Every structure is written in structure tokens, then in C-alpha cells.
Structure 1
Amino acid sequence: MQKIKKPNELLPQIFKTIMMKKIYLFLLSLGIWGTNLFAQPVSDANGTTAEANNASTLTISGFSVPANNNRLLVVCTYNGLNATAPSVTFNGNAMTVAIQRQNSSGVVLGLHYIVLGSDVSATTGDIVATGSGIYRLGAASYHDVDQTTPTGGETSNIFSGSPTSNTLTVTSATNELVCDCIGATASGFTGFNVGANQTQVFQSALTPGGLPSAIAMSTEAGAASVDMSWTINGSGSFIGVHAGMGLKPVGGVVPVKWTYFKGQPANKSTQLFWQTASEQNNAGFEIHRSSDGRTWEKQAFIEGAGTTSKVQNYRWTDEQPLTGMNYYRLKQMDYDGRFEYSDVVGIQLLVDHAQLAVRPNPVQSGEVTLYFPETDFEEARLEIFNSIGSLVQTKRLVSNETTIQTSHLPKGIYWFSVRVNGRKMTEKVV
């Protein structure tokens, strides 16, 4: 049999030092995070558009809403003469019409939205508008938006003839973010210029086909009222619609005001710690764990303090962390069903094989990985015994790190025993 190389023949000195320890937990990161009272909604700066000429369906494919808290997707639609107002979906889910306005020529402009909650990974899907006479479709996402009543102060106006600009006054409140969309069509139309105090989110192309048409979206910080102004460039007889609304910040009082969330090694386990400065309507915290930061499993639930202005300290111990990387997050849950996620803490579990180790233990997915220290051996053998001492499986081992299938074994307690170089090592496995 070919001699198996020792780790110190393969690894640099820093890893040799780590492997000398029985178990070494390396804290990858500490998440320290918080939520501000009355935080203004924020644009994700991902505005994009799609163009058509009198279409019945128009799609923005693979639109991505970044990971964040309290997300909102806003879509603007623009339909041509004598068209019907479209319906809009994202990932197959119907979007809500916030405002829709049709001028005397039959041009329809609409603002649609869908709340997407909080997540630590991006949400990607197709935006599909279905109707008649669809010319333009634009989309942008925002975060820190109230998920129950995300919009307010909806208003619109229409314009025609030869205007050089259009202004829409939107009634809003401090800490709202005003969002507007304008659309126009004319034979000599060349596009829009955004107002001095606004931030352009997107502007569509003038083509394809038919009379030149375009839509554009912008944002501006809210106040008692905000004037959303656009310069209309070009010549000809314009027809157009302008609509706007305020995006509302997450509720007036934040359910939980965070101080920190962090983790640390603790012998063979990992420990999580978090602190809140105040809580309102807080039912508690689900603790989620992941091996890749994408797929999460609930591990435990810790009750919250309900409503309190006093500092609260929490801790939880994972007695059976995964071998390799462990990612943790908290899902803070209100009594009314609202929730938000924390940042992510990552902790890596490295085993130096100082003795026989079987992971995960308890078994979770029908297989385990066993480790033992010897790397220079001619033969090693695994024996598995059940709780009454009967031998149920044997296996010849050629490596000191081996994956063993356990799905065929009934649930219960087993003893994994490895014999190598005249030595016997045993580990209890559940």
C-alpha cells in the first residue's frame, strides 16, 4: 500500500501549529449591528429598464434585489395610446398597484410595488408586465421600507402640448424617501433631465419603434412636501404622465434596538452572545445555522423580553457545531408576525485528529466523517457496534479521514471503533 503523506509534509507552518491542538475554533467574524429609529429608506441603486413597441408582454429578466432588511421592489409601467393598464408580477407573485393614471389620449403610467421582507441573500427573479400597448418597463429596489404600509401620499398629473418641464408636488413626511416616475411620447422627444435636488434612478431608451417614448425615475428626501421636477427635451406635441409617492421608513418605534451580536469558541462547542438596548413587542429570537451561508436551519428559539426599556443580555451554546465552517444568524420575531434578520457570525471548527472524532454527532444527513491521528499506517479497520454490543458493520480504511454512510442504520446509539497500528480508539455516536 502506498504510504500516506503526513500533514507536516503538505501544510505550511501556521497550519501545523493549528493541527497540534485538540480542537481549535477560529472566529471568522463578529457581527455588530443595530437599527436606527426612523431610518430613511435607501435606494439599492439597481434601476433598470426594458423597452418594446406596443407589446402585450414585457419582461425584465433576472432582476436582483440585494440582501438587506425590509426590502421593497418598485416597478414603473408605461402603455401607449388606448392601451389597457397592465398587471405586473415578480417571480410569479402579483405586485400591488400604488397609483395608475391615464391621460385623455389613453396613455397609462403606473407605479407598482411588492414587499420582499428581510434576507441575507439576494432575491432574483423575472419582472413581467402583461396587458396591451406596453412600451416601457422600469424597476428599482429599496430597503429599510415599512413592510405593512410601504407607500403614501400618492399623486399624479398629466401634460400635453409643448411643455419644457413638469413638476409634481408630493406630500410626504420627514424620513420618507419620495419616489417618482415620468413618461412621455412625442415625435421630436429626446429624453429627460432630472431636477437639481433629485437623484435619477433610471431612464429608459427612446427606441424601439413608433414615436420616441421614455420613462424615468428619481428619488428625493421627504419633507412636508417635495417638488419632483423634470426637464422635457425635444420638440413636438407631447403627451405624458407623471406620478409619485413617498416610501415610508420602518415603523415609528423599532421593535428591538440592538447593541451587538457576536460569537466565541467554547471548548468543543460554540457560544453566541447578543444584547438589546430596548425591546417592544419582541416575542423572541430564532437561531439559524448554515454550513454555506445560503441554506439555513433553525436550531433553537430564545424568548424575548416583550416590551422593556432595560438592557437585555442573551446567550446560546451550540453543543454540536458542524465540522468546518458554521454560520449563525438571528431571526428576531414580533408578536404580530413581523421579523428581521441579524448580520451573520461565522465560526470555523478545525479538528487536529488528536483522537477519533466523528462529525456531525448526532448524525444529521445519513452520513458522518470520521478522523483519527495516524497518517502512516498499513491498514486500519472500522467496526461499528450497536447499543447492545452487536457488531453491525466493518470497513477497511485507507485514509485517516473517511466519510461513512449511516442511512441504513436504525436510529439509536452506536460505538465507532477504529483499530490502527495496534491502537484502538472508540467514539459514541447518536
Structure 2
Amino acid sequence: LYWAQSSGTTSLDQVSSAKFDGSDPKILISGNDKFINLQTIAIDAANNTIYVGDGNNTGNTGISRLNADGSYKDNIKAGIDAVSINGMQVAGGKLYWVQASSSISTENKLCSSDLNGQNVVTLASGNSATTFANPQTLYVDLANNIVYVGDGVNAGNTGISRFNATTGAYIDKIVTPTGAVSGLQVAGNKLYWVQTSNTASDDKLCVSDLNGQNVVTLASGNSATTFINPQSLYVDVNSNSIYVGDAASANSTGISHFTITGTYVKVIAAGSSIISYNAIYGASITTLPVTLVDLTVKVQTNAVELNWQTSYEQNNKGFEIYRRGDGGEFTRVGEISGKGNSAVAINYTFRDKNPLDGNNYYRLVQIDNDGKPTNLGERVTTFQLVDKDIKVSPNPTSDIATLTFPIATYETLELMDLNGKVLYRQYLDRSVSSVDLSLAKYAVGSYLVKLSGNGVQKLNKLIKK
């Protein structure tokens, strides 16, 4: 179970999660860094992404995306100070939302976009009898190509209305409650909602047919075993459960669990006079043991360097680095220890001192404390061991190798082992274009010859047989 809560206390503005019985509660992200007045969330389980919608406040951040562990990903819709994102849902590869404003009437909208926030479409605009006046919530029923929108307290409150999910065309108004509709969901071929009002008897959890007929009040508010000012709900027909989130008040019941028929079960998250539970969502999403921010490969003088950064680590034993050439199999070339558990940015570097000539494909694998591997990605770069400007003959050699190169170019010759250790250095006369290099005193194996000058460095591989 995931939920969004807001408060006048910065540290209590949070996205949190728990198991459906309330156990294992976790704060995924908090504070006024990435949102100001959190109003809603949507879960994209297929892409391990959490969308958060900010409320009406100076500096509000609009719509942002989080990774499954709660780490910040990006902002996909800029905030407008007087506009609140009140309801969101991912459906059919699109993001749908309703937004409301008390001071900018043209910003009362039902919208959709791609999952990255691009290609925004305004499906319907408010402030009319056939749309809405202060939209608070929505539910997208793609099976029937319908979007349900619940309106807020306003002189022109339209209750619950239906719109075409493709075109946004108004279909009809199906429910006219006496309060604000603050949470909606279609489940088990029924429409469920919570409504809230200054009149205690109008605080309700209700269900109806999808056309709004046969309304049944499942639970009424203003008691310790229901709710005081319900703001959100989530219906799980598979477990015959309904979860209702209450608003901040002296007698708030927090998040409560009801049966599908409206019988109170227990509290899932404690109520508070300063916390409002504005959105609840049930989903199963995979939290990776680490959140990888970046992974790059860079060619150095005699090596390839891999750099990566994590923003979150959980039970992270470390990383293994694998490499292959064109058409080859991946083999492990190194490993680096992880930090175990961390919620701050950590930078890692690995140097491959023996890259292959040509294309080098690298794979970064994370290892849990229990030994479980997770492939974090692959990168490729080209490393040139043989430079066409430098000719080495004979190669392989048992003793003397002659290096031929352009005149007046290089000033220094260095013989190195494959780890980059300099074994021999010779300064060159700029008037020469060749030099003999003896390997007589060195062991059989592979070496690197580096020529430097005029800000240029060239490498060649030399083999002693």
C-alpha cells in the first residue's frame, strides 16, 4: 500500500508505503525538497515508477517522477503556484490527471500525456455544468473508455461525471452528492467513492453501479471506527478490502481498513491532527537493491575507466565488472565493494588496465548480500592498442624491435607493462624517425610502447617471444 500525505510540518510531507496489514511501514521520500504540498500519487508498476502531484502552493513542483525506492527521478510537468494536481492515474501507457485552481478558472482541467510528460492534451476544461468546477479526483476505466471525475466543494459542484477517455467529450453526470468527491475507483464492475462535507452525515464511503445507479452507503463518518473527513480510498476486491485515508483533524483516523461491505477492520496508519492522507494506491512494484544514477566509460592513456553513481543502496555487497570484445563472451575483469545501505549519492570508479584492442563491451552487475546479481547496464567504447602512425617490426620479437614514426613529432619513448608501470624511458631527438628498442632483459609477454610529444600520446602493443 502506497500513500501520499501532506502537513504543515515539512518532515511530514511524505510518500510512504506499508504492507496491506500496515506492517513494514517505510518513508520513501519526505520534506519540501521535491514537493511542497503533496496531493496525489500514481503507481506505474510496469516501469517501477511513482508519480507525485503537488498542491496549490507557492513554489509547487507540478508532477514529478520517483523511482520505486522513492529516490527522485525527474520533473515532467512544471508547477503553477495557484494550481493543484489533485488526482492521477497511469492507464494504457498514458498519464491522466485532474488539476484545480480557485483563482485561475482556465486551469481547472482533465489532462493526459505520455508517461514522460510530453504531448500534453487537455481533454476537458472546467467551470461548466457539463464538466466540473473544482476537480478533486479521477479514475480511468479503459475497459469502457471512460474517465470518471469527482468534483470538489463549489457552487457549481457537478458531483461525479463521466467523460470519453479518448476525446474528453462529456458523457453525463451520474452522482450528485452533497459534499466533495475526494476519491474514486472502479473495481469489480462497481464504482466506489468517498465524499466529505462540513455536515457530518455527508462524510461517506459509497458504492454504485458504473452508471451511478443503486447507490449504497457502506460507511458513514465522524466516529473512531470510520473517518472524520475522508480524502482518498483504494479498493482491493481480491482481498475484499477497502482502505480510506482521512484528513488532518483532532479525531483523524488516519488510514483505515474496511471490508468490501463497509465493516471497519482496523487502523493501518495512525491518524494525526496535522497529517492529511490525500491519496492511497495499492500496487506491487520491484525495488532494485541500488538506484543507478549514471554509468559511463572513458578511454584513458593506457586503460578504460568506468564511472558510476548510486543514489540509494540496500543490502549492497558490491559490484562486478564484466568485459567482452566483438563476438566474445563476457568475463569478469574486476569487482568493487558496495556501501551496504545508503540513501546518499556515492561515486564509484573502476580502471580496466588491460583493455582489448578494438571494441570493449562492459557490463556492470550489482551483488546483494545474499549473492543475488542484478544487471545494471552495459556500455561500449573503442580502445586502440595499435596506432597506424607507429610501425613496430618485428612484432613479436625475441630481442630488438624497431619503431618507425613521423619525424619531428615525438619527444619521449616509454616501455610499460600492461598495468601501466614504466619499465624504460628514452628521450628522443626530434630529428629522428626510428629507434631500436631492446627487450633482451625483459620476460616473455606483452608490453605497451608509448610515444609522447606535441601534446600527443600514441600506444602500441609489443610482444616479447
Instruction: Give the TM-score of the pair, scaled to structure 1.
Output: 0.30
